[in-house]
Amino acid sequence: MRASRYLLPVLKESPQEASIASHQLMLRSGMIRQLASGIYNWLPLGKRVLDNIANIVKEEMDSADAQEILMPTMQPAKLWEESGRGNYGKETLNAVDRHKNALIYGPTNEEVVTDLFRNTVRSYKELPLNLYHVQWKFRDEIRPRFGVMRGREFLMKDAYSFDTDEEAARESYDNMYRAYLRIFRRLGLTAIPFTAKTGQIGGNMSHEFQVVASTGESEIFYDPAFEKELRKKEFNIEKLRSLYSAADEMHDPDKAPEECKSARGIEVGHIFYLGTKYSQPMGANIQHSDGSVAPVHMGCYGIGISRLIGAIIESSHDKDGIIWPESVTPFHVGLINIRPGHEQCDKACEDIYANLQAAGISTLYDDRNESAGAKFAAMALIGLPWQLAIGPRGIGSGLVELKNRKSGQKEELSIESAMTRILS
Amino acid sequence: MRASRYLLPVLKESPQEASIASHQLMLRSGMIRQLASGIYNWLPLGKRVLDNIANIVKEEMDSADAQEILMPTMQPAKLWEESGRGNYGKETLNAVDRHKNALIYGPTNEEVVTDLFRNTVRSYKELPLNLYHVQWKFRDEIRPRFGVMRGREFLMKDAYSFDTDEEAARESYDNMYRAYLRIFRRLGLTAIPFTAKTGQIGGNMSHEFQVVASTGESEIFYDPAFEKELRKKEFNIEKLRSLYSAADEMHDPDKAPEECKSARGIEVGHIFYLGTKYSQPMGANIQHSDGSVAPVHMGCYGIGISRLIGAIIESSHDKDGIIWPESVTPFHVGLINIRPGHEQCDKACEDIYANLQAAGISTLYDDRNESAGAKFAAMALIGLPWQLAIGPRGIGSGLVELKNRKSGQKEELSIESAMTRILS
């Protein structure tokens, strides 16, 4: 993509509305713009990151045998009466259609998916079943803040498992627990699992996953052994569950190990074993092999896709800007033409740009008529893993400058060596 | 995908709620289920088709130099006051948030994108610019019907072009006109362009694209020469615009050519040259090269993604079910194991399934314990291009049956020949 033809409104200064790093950096790098309190437009750069994260989540859900569906954003309010939840409290966004039917903008989808299940599945033979979707949700927060970290309209992946009995449902739960650990690891995050309260969703077992960041909303306490366990190829669930972790008032200093760490955490995922909390009142039954009919056992599993972007930036940035993990970066290489109009610079840049594209390496080519300083600052701000600068001095002797955003290491190299480094 | 582990609730009978073929077939093939009037859940099979269509639209928008963004579903009502539209009439779905701010579920996005533009773009140097998104819309139809063809919550691609003056804006318009013709051709549709009224969107030039189908809502009249012109590699816009086409009351028999065809049409796309209708009242100005400041010239371009599925099925089905074009089919091959549990059948199916997957051919493998008749009927209903049946009689001599859904042609072949045919 040529920066000259790309909507990338970077800002030198942090807008006043933003108080934390991720919010400031997402505004400054031209990823998002606020439309209304807690409601954001996603500009091209932000949309790419959102898609990258959603795709990783979808791939891991698919490999965990979940099936992608799509439920609508607007739900009939009467389903919430059936389940007994009534509504989602003051965070519910209500609407009434022209025929006076009460609708709510889905803050979560237990009712809708339970309704879908009871209308389509009858027999134990069709289980286990895990349905997920990636869809916008609305929760009318009293004080939306921190940009996409606590927005009102936000993108969430929510999955729902259906099993014949509690034992099978707990297997489905563990299956999702492992999938979540894989997802967060692929996103470059250390997300520690905590036993959690079940709150408005309900059920009797729950874990949340928290990313350590100084701006986190919860105080968290955890055994530092997690950090090693979460990097292992195969996760040992028993081991993980035996390690101490507790958030906020669930912390008990008497039970915590000596080496227990204390930090702030950002919640990025939450899973619940629901049992028959929704299937019982809504009559979502299945026929068992012995002919008996009973409510299906459910679990639900949420990941905040848009919120994850905030969490990733909170845990990976420096004073100059964002430092994207390879897995979610909007482009892999930022190619800087230091002197557009200089024949050798232009030719080298066009060649490199064409070669990178041919090799399938996503590249943002800064071909704009801006100062070198402004271009380097913008590139550092948007945080692509590799920055390749072509200037009139070096190119005369066939040299370019390659910088690694994370390590900060700069090297002057031949074009071939730079390409090899990027492709390796 | 193994059908035994796939949520595919096919129905033998047409539900009463459905009166036209596409609606009946989408329900029967387990693509969708209604949640509320005009609001649908997309099941796994339907979601795949929705994604395939959205991806084709995105690819063609990207190659036409449009940039993908994502605007939220909920919009501040006050933007509609600024533009002078007020609202979208009785089809507007209104909501009031907890702080008493009026929100509307976007039925279209001219106001939001114009607001985004005025906050991010200043200079003629940043033009031309074309921003698009694929997002859910809500229009509170008084009588939702025909399934996803006239739903209330529906998926739309809408693009917005920004140019310095009318001449440039008309070039952007023609660029989209051509992109639309390419999109519909890739979807296997003959979509005829018509001069159209501008209605609630406004502006002073507009074309709509209509697919011929007996269940169409408009009466259309067109020169049959369109059919040939729309298949040509390069579209000749001047030639296309010189051909006669008119919908409903815009038809003038005195101007129509003798060979003029009359049919019913389904609108699948609509493009508008807006001029400064939105930029003027909303103050979306740009600075020109001479330093002067003036409202930007806009165009807007919509395609109904979910509606397109209905249009494709209306124009491509038979008494047995859907006939998917290759470009949007949910799977390319339906593999039928006629006798699960029969050792040779199971082994051949597993081998073929693995080989098709390795070759990147999406395959639905019907491994269920159902009668052969039920499996053939389900496969015809869901309409995959190729159907490959493995039964105990043929497999003894290494033969399988390959059927082409569109031509109906059946052949008994060796496994190798069948694979070659599918891969060619």
Query: Coil, helix or strand for A90?
Result: helix
Q: Which residues of B97-152 form beta strands (DSSP E)?
A: 102-105, 129-138
Residue-level pLDDT at A378: 98
Residues A282 and A155 in one domain: yes
Q: Does B47 sit within 8 Å of A70, measured CB to CB? A: yes
**pLDDT band for position B196 (cuts 50, 70, 90):** confident
Give how far Cα A409 sits from Cα of A253, A365, A366, A401, Å.
43, 20, 21, 10
- Nearest-5° angle of CA A351, CA A355, CA A360? 150
The mean pLDDT value for A7-15 works out to 94
Is B339 a residue whose pLDDT tops 80? yes
A326 located within any domain: no
CATH number at residue B382: 3.40.50.800
A36 located within any domain: yes
**Is the Cβ–Cβ distance between B39 and B152 less than 8 Å?**
yes
C-alpha atoms less than 13 angstroms from C-alpha of A223 in its C-beta half-sphere: 17
Is A198 a residue whose pLDDT tops 80? no
B116 located within any domain: yes
**What percent of chain B shows pLDDT beyond 70?**
99
The mean pLDDT value for A108-133 works out to 97
Chain A residues in contact with B136 (beta carbon < 8 A): 72-73, 136
**Is the Cβ–Cβ distance between B130 and B168 less than 8 Å?**
no
Tokens for A17, please give them: 């509305």
Domain count across chain A: 2
Name the DSSP letter for residue B199: T
Predicted complex: ipTM over 0.90: yes
Q: Look at residues A257, A283, A318 and tell me which one is the last residue of a structural domain.
A: A318
Q: What is the pTM of this model?
A: 0.97
Is B225 a residue whose pLDDT tops 80? yes
Tokens for B275, please give them: 């001029």
Stated as kind and residue range, the H or E segment containing B21 is helix B21-28
A328 located within any domain: no
Q: Does A73 sit within 8 Å of B7, measured CB to CB? A: no
Q: Does A101 sit within 8 Å of B36, measured CB to CB? A: yes
B326 located within any domain: no
**Is the Cβ–Cβ distance between B388 and B335 less than 8 Å?**
yes
Find the CB nearest A72 among B40, B67, B116: B40
Give the Cα separation of A422 and A402 in Å (integer). Answer: 9
Task: Kindly report which listed range (A196-205, A303-312, A361-370) carries the lowest average pLDDT score.
Answer: A196-205
Residue-level pLDDT at B198: 72
Is A17 a residue whose pLDDT tops 90? no
Residue-level pLDDT at B215: 87
Name the CA radius of gyration of chain B, rounded: 24
Give the Cα separation of A394 and A348 in Å (integer). Answer: 11
Task: For residue range B234-243, list pLDDT tens digits in order.
Answer: 999 999 999 9
Give the Cα separation of B185 and B111 in Å (integer). Answer: 31
**Is the Cβ–Cβ distance between A294 and A279 less than 8 Å?**
no
**pLDDT band for position A390 (cuts 50, 70, 90):** very high
Chain B residues in contact with A78 (beta carbon < 8 A): none
Chain B residues in contact with A53 (beta carbon < 8 A): none
Q: Quickly count: other Cβ atoms within 10 Å of residue A389's Cβ.
A: 24
Q: Look at residues B274, B289, B318 and tell me which one is the last residue of a structural domain.
A: B318
CATH number at residue B278: 3.30.930.10
Task: For residue range A128-165, list pLDDT tens digits in order.
Answer: 999 999 999 999 999 999 999 999 999 999 999 999 99
Q: Does A72 sit within 8 Å of B120, measured CB to CB? A: no
Residue-level pLDDT at B148: 95
Give the Cα separation of A53 and A347 in Å (integer). Answer: 35
Residues B281 and B310 in one domain: yes
A31 located within any domain: yes
Task: For residue range A19-67, list pLDDT tens digits in order.
Answer: 999 999 999 999 999 999 999 999 999 999 999 999 999 999 999 999 9
Task: For residue range A67-95, list pLDDT tens digits in order.
Answer: 999 999 999 999 999 999 988 899 999 99
Q: Does B103 sit within 8 Å of A33, measured CB to CB? A: no
Find the CB nearest A120 among B5, B9, B120: B9
Q: Which residues of B169-296 form beta strands (DSSP E)?
A: 191-195, 205-212, 218-222, 245-247, 261-275, 285-287, 293-295
Task: For residue range B273-294, list pLDDT tens digits in order.
Answer: 999 999 999 999 999 999 999 9
Chain B residues in contact with A129 (beta carbon < 8 A): 7
Task: For residue range B51-68, list pLDDT tens digits in order.
Answer: 999 999 999 999 999 999
A327 located within any domain: no
> Is residue A400 packed enough to be buried (19+ CB in 10 Å), middle (13-18) or exposed (0-12)?
buried
Residue-level pLDDT at A217: 87
B167 located within any domain: yes
Residues B14 and B162 in one domain: yes
**pLDDT band for position B217 (cuts 50, 70, 90):** confident
Average pLDDT value over all residues in chain A: 96
Domain that holds residue A351: 333-423
Residues B302 and B395 in one domain: no
Tell me which residue has tokens 């965070």: A91
Task: Kindly report which listed range (A194-198, A243-247, A294-298, B172-176) carries the lowest average pLDDT score.
Answer: A194-198
Residues A364 and A313 in one domain: no
Q: Look at residues A290, A318, A346 and tell me which one is the last residue of a structural domain.
A: A318
Give the Cα separation of A149 and A138 in Å (integer). Answer: 13
Q: Give the amino acid at A299.
A: G
Q: Does A7 sit within 8 Å of B119, measured CB to CB? A: no
Of the candidates A391, A127, A93, A75, the residue with the CA atom closest to the CA atom of residue B75 = A93
